[in-house]
Amino acid sequence: MTALFSIDPQAVRIVRAETKQQILAELAQCFGSVYMLDTAHVLERIEERETLGSTGFGRGVAIPHARLEGLARPVAAFFRLENPVEFAAADGMPVDCVFGLLSPEQAGATHLQALAAISRLMRDERMHERLTNAPGADAIYSLLVNVIDRDAA
């Protein structure tokens, strides 16, 4: 079995942002540069989804996501924020972890399965603590890829 989505080491970053809009713009830029996508189009699609309701999931986590034509499979990015940012989350708490997901336009079930997997991962208090305390982006990537690969097995 293969993982529901892939994440490139270059898409795991520690980011300084002051606003939700800055986070979304930085996320679109990351997806654009790492996965060779049109940054403006990615931002447009993520913002469209955000208008339906905040992707601030609660417990300090946001999962901005969208479906995009031209993708072969779901791809992800992960940001640990230097300082928590207000994100209009369901629980009213600011976010410190942002897990972005882009899926192919026609990947309805796959997109939902990938979102569910990310949600389960980020609900795990120990994992959230490890991600928050990891010494850098490389350590964060290792934590994430170990869980993604384990869950695919």
Residue 98 forms beta bridges with which residues?
A: 62, 79
Q: Structure tokens of 46?
A: 């993520």
The residues annotated with a catalytic role in the active site are 65
- Asked if 107 and 36 touch (Cβ cutoff 8 Å), the reply is no
- Give the 3-state secondary structure of residue 71: coil
Q: What is residue 58's DSSP assignment?
A: E
Which class for 53: exposed (0-12), middle (13-18), buried (19 or more C-beta within 10 A)? exposed
